[in-house]
């Protein structure tokens, strides 16, 4: 008998028996020593680091009797293991990055369990999720410093970093470390980094530095460009480079050494530009970081010449001195036309004087006698149009001559057509006036009222009709014209009226003959009469040389005819051609003489 402890190595035993006759061995007997798993281990295939995406197998081995019944796989998570599988082998068909970690296996039979040691699964891969971060911010003032940091996820870690700068289509290498410190550029350049390990490389996305700066390169454009014609629409546009974008645009007009605000907004429009809009303009662009002004731009408004009211003519004994002042842009040219012909510079004197950059004064001295009254025109022209002024040489005397001012814009009616139109209009007006005059004379409704003709003490007295009753005799047959030119004080006039109302009607006075007023008497009367707008009798004559009105008054008598029917007092006699006053006037300021025919109260003459 042999008493032993069952060994762990499954040893075999046999015994030998012997006597004096001999010996014999028994058959071998193996002791089946049962025990829990032990020497449990884990193997990885392929061994070592594994590249992402390949197939990886983990195998568990253990010594046990009876044999291991159950294998369990664990992944270490902190201080404990998390079951991830079972079986003697555990396979990752396409191992992923997140499969990296520590693993172990557990072997179990009915006598106990045993764990293997932990094994690390290292999944390697090229750089992933590369990115760039900017400190303190990607939006920074132009010229300030910022730090760019490149980040990437890779196994093994990134072996090298490379920085690139993109400017339009050009790419430039600017660094080779994980961090890059630069000054914020003004051109909003873009940056990215490249990460690399032995398995591959990856570029980060592009990062743009938002370099903020005040407005710069501010400029002004004008549409239409160049000189602009008065009356058209003109638009000024302001452009500027700024980050952030321009918040406010302000428009200025140069006034001396400073600018005067005239508008706001990116565009400034003159709907109908005027002459006084000419000048220098500039715009101001502003954002939260500062302001910038454009250079000044000159707006040159062109316009047709305009002849100024100060233009005039003065006549002396043997010559006419005229001045024509014109204003236009471009600066106008002035031409004198005498009797519709250009002035001959050999016999006439013309002096031209500039009046600033857009004005011209032209003086003409021409030798003309008092009897010569040619038409005199000042014609001013430039590239935009023309303007003319015709002087009234008949009205000059020693006074200023005025005329009609005409302007012709380029593309409109020319001066000859305009003058022709004036002539036709004047002719039509004369014809209409002649027709009205004939109607006045021949219309029976224009009868001479019968009544008492009253007159006051004056140089001339006339009696045209009886004061009452039917006419018993025809008016005097004398056909001489009677001239009246009197200046009666208002007081005498009022007294005459009062006496006439109080005294009985003495009947008609005898009509004085034309000899009552001699040629000497008429010439002795004052020629210039007072301005009698309010009371003709209270005025006084102006001094010689002042602006006055000259007039002569003619009263013409008419024959009377008896009608067959004398029963009506009012219709007994009708003027054959009417009675009328004819007044000839040469009024300063009118182009010519004009005759006025009318029946009215003239100074001391009154009809009742």
Q: Name the token pair of 363.
A: 């003086």
- What is the distance between the alpha carbons of residues 481 and 511, in angstroms, rounded to a whole number? 12
Query: Residue 560: pLDDT band by 50, 70, 90 thresholds?
Result: very low
Within 8 A by CB and 6+ apart from 189, the residues are 165, 166, 167, 208, 209
Q: Does residue 71 contact residue 6 with C-beta atoms inside 8 Å?
A: no
Q: Name the token pair of 272.
A: 């109908």
Q: What is the mean pLDDT of the segment spanning 586-602?
A: 39
Q: What is the pLDDT of residue 153?
A: 92
Q: Name the token pair of 101.
A: 């970690």
398 compared with 206, residue with greater pLDDT: 206
Q: What is the pLDDT of residue 599?
A: 40
Q: What is the dihedral of CA 366, 367, 371, 375, to 10 degrees?
A: -20
DSSP codes joined into one string, 470-489: ---SPPP-----EE------
Mean pLDDT of the residues in the chain: 74
Query: Residue 593: pLDDT band by 50, 70, 90 thresholds?
Result: very low
- Work out whether strand 359-367 and strand 319-329 pair parallel, antiparallel, or are unpaired: antiparallel
Q: What is the mean pLDDT of the segment spanning 65-80?
A: 93
Q: What is the pLDDT of residue 479?
A: 38
- What is the distance between the alpha carbons of residues 580 and 606, in angstroms, rounded to a whole number? 13
CA triple 299-303-306, angle to 5 deg: 135
Per-residue pLDDT tens digits for 87-134 = 999 999 999 999 999 999 999 999 999 999 999 999 999 999 999 999
Q: Name the token pair of 314.
A: 């003065």
CA triple 398-399-405, angle to 5 deg: 135
Q: What is the mean pLDDT of the segment spanning 375-391?
A: 88
Would you give the end-to-end CA distance of the chain in angstroms?
193
CA triple 501-458-447, angle to 5 deg: 65
- What is the distance between the alpha carbons of residues 429 and 591, in angstroms, rounded to a whole number? 15
Scanning the structure block, which residue is given the tokens 């008016």?
475
Per-residue pLDDT tens digits for 337-366 = 887 788 866 667 777 888 877 888 888 888
Other beta carbons within 10 angstroms of residue 299's beta carbon come to 17
CA triple 558-562-567, angle to 5 deg: 130
Q: Is the pLDDT of residue 17 over 90?
A: yes
Q: Is the pLDDT of residue 305 over 70?
A: yes
Q: What percent of the chain has pLDDT over 90?
A: 40
3-class secondary structure, 492:
helix
Domains of the chain, start order: 35-121 (2.60.40.10), 125-209 (2.60.40.10), 215-299 (2.60.40.10), 303-391 (2.60.40.10)
CA triple 539-542-548, angle to 5 deg: 100
Per-residue pLDDT tens digits for 410-436 = 444 444 555 777 888 888 888 888 888
- What is the distance between the alpha carbons of residues 125 and 100, in angstroms, rounded to a whole number? 11
- Work out whether strand 50-51 and strand 123-135 pair parallel, antiparallel, or are unpaired: parallel
Going 46 to 52 to 55 to 56, the CA torsion angle's sign is positive
Residue 58 is classified by DSSP as: E
Query: Residue 409: pLDDT band by 50, 70, 90 thresholds?
Result: very low
Per-residue pLDDT tens digits for 434-458 = 888 887 777 655 444 433 333 333 3
Q: Name the token pair of 520.
A: 């000497």
CA neighbours within 13 Å on the CB side: how many for 404? 10
- What is the distance between the alpha carbons of residues 273 and 270, in angstroms, rounded to a whole number? 5
DSSP codes joined into one string, 531-564: --SS-GGG--PPPTTS--EEEEEEEE---EEE-S
């Amino acid at each position: 008998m042999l008493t032993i402890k069952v060994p762990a190595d499954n040893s075999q035993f046999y015994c030998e028996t012997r006597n004096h006759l001999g010996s014999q061995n028994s058959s071998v007997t193996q002791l089946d020593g049962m025990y829990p798993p032990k020497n449990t281990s884990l193997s990885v295939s392929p061994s070592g680091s594994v590249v992402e995406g390949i197939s990886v197998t983990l195998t568990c081995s253990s010594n046990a009797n009876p044999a291991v019944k159950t294998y369990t796989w664990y992944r270490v998570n902190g201080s404990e293991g998390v079951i991830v599988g079972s079986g003697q082998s555990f396979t990752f068909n396409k191992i992923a990055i997140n499969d990296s970690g520590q693993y172990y296996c557990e072997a179990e039979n009915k006598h106990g369990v045993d764990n293997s040691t932990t094994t690390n699964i290292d999944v390697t891969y090229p750089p992933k999720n590369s990115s760039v971060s900017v400190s303190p911010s990607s939006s920074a003032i132009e010229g300030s410093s910022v730090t760019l940091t490149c980040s990437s996820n890779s196994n093994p870690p990134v072996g090298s970093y490379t920085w690139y700068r993109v400017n339009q289509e050009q790419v430039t290498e600017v660094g080779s470390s994980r961090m890059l410190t630069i000054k914020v550029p003004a051109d909003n350049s873009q940056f990215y980094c490249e990460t690399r390990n032995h398995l591959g490389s990856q570029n980060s996305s592009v990062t743009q530095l938002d370099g903020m700066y005040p407005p710069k390169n501010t400029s002004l454009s004008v549409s239409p460009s160049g000189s602009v014609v008065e009356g058209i629409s003109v638009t000024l546009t302001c452009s500027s480079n700024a980050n952030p974008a321009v918040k406010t645009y302000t428009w200025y007009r140069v006034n001396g050494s400073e600018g005067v605000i005239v508008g706001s907004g990116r565009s400034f429009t003159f709907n109908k530009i005027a002459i006084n809009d000419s000048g220098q303009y500039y715009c101001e662009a502003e954002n939260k970081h500062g302001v910038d002004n454009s250079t000044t731009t000159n707006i040159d408004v062109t316009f047709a010449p305009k002849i100024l009211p100060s233009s005039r003519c003065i006549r002396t004994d043997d010559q006419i001195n005229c001045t024509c002042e014109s204003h236009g842009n471009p600066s106008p040219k002035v031409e004198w036309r005498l009797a519709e012909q250009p002035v001959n510079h050999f016999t006439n004197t013309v002096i031209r004087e500039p009046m600033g950059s857009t004005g011209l004064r032209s003086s003409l001295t021409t030798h003309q006698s008092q009897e010569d009254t040619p038409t005199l025109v000042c014609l001013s022209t430039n590239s935009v149009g023309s303007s003319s002024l015709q002087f009234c040489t008949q009205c000059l005397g020693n006074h200023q001559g005025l005329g009609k001012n005409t302007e012709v814009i380029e593309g409109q009616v020319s001066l000859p057509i305009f003058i022709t139109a004036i002539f036709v209009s004047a002719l039509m007006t004369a014809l209409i006036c002649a027709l009205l005059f004939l109607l006045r004379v021949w219309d029976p409704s224009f009868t001479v009222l019968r009544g008492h003709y009253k007159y006051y003490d004056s140089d001339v007295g006339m009696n045209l009709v009886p004061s009452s009753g039917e006419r018993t005799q025809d008016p005097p047959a004398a056909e001489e014209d009677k001239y009246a030119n009197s200046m009666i004080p208002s007081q005498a006039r009022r007294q005459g009226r009062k006496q006439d109302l109080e005294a009985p009607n003495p009947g008609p006075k005898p009509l004085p003959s034309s000899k009552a007023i001699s040629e000497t008497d008429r010439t002795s009367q004052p020629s210039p009469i007072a301005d009698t707008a309010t009371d003709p009798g209270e005025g006084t004559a102006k001094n010689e040389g002042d602006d006055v009105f000259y007039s002569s008054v003619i009263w013409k008598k008419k024959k009377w005819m008896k009608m067959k029917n004398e029963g009506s007092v009012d219709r007994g006699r009708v003027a054959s051609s009417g009675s009328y006053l004819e007044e000839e006037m040469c009024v300063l300021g009118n182009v010519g003489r004009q005759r006025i025919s009318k029946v009215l109260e003239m100074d001391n003459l009154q009809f009742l």
